[in-house]
Amino acid sequence: MDNKRVLVAKLGLDGHDRGVKVVARTLRDAGFEVIYTGLFQTPQTVVAAAIDEDVDAIGLSMLSGAHQALVPLVTAELREQGLDIPVILGGIIPEHDFEEMYGAGVAAILTPGSTAEEMVEAVDRAIEEARAAD
């Protein structure tokens, strides 16, 4: 795997970070360079960090149910900045919200029970598709 940089972040007031730390470690072990922003990020700080770190993908961990309000703000901010960085959404995302999240520009959705292999594959595929579109 060539140098692929992924920013992982916790949006909003969700203070549960064990899962996102496992995701970060899993991606790191698979060869990705991972930047973890920590808890309580805003859509603007996530996009700013993605720009500063020159990442190939953004992984958002959402367990609070705020994905419908916050994720579209991240993808809109990316578009406003003229960036085509894929966003992978993980966490407690009800299946009936998938279409809305994909419509907002999310490249992939991972839910509880996703395997490490599925995580790595989803992130890698999103990056490769974005690179191919350039």
DSSP 41: B
Q: How far apart are CA 42 and CA 46, in angstroms?
A: 6
pLDDT band at 15 (very low <50, low <70, confident <90, very high): confident
Domain that holds residue 71: 5-133
- Report whether pLDDT(37) > 80: yes
pLDDT at site 1: 53
Q: In this predicted model, what pLDDT tens digit does every residue of 65-116 receive, in sequence order?
A: 889 999 999 999 999 999 999 999 999 999 999 999 999 999 999 999 999 9
Return the pLDDT at 70: 96
131 pLDDT above the threshold of 60: yes
If you average pLDDT over residues 25-43, what whole number do you get?
A: 95
Find the Cα–Cα–Cα–Cα dihedral 133, 91, 46, 105, rounded to 10°. Answer: 30
Q: How many domains does the chain have?
A: 1
List the CATH number of the domain containing 120: 3.40.50.280
pLDDT at residue 12, rounded to an integer: 82
21 phi, psi to nearest 5 deg: -70, -35
Interhelix angle for 116-133 vs 18-29, to 10°?
Answer: 70
pLDDT above 70 coverage of the chain, percent: 99
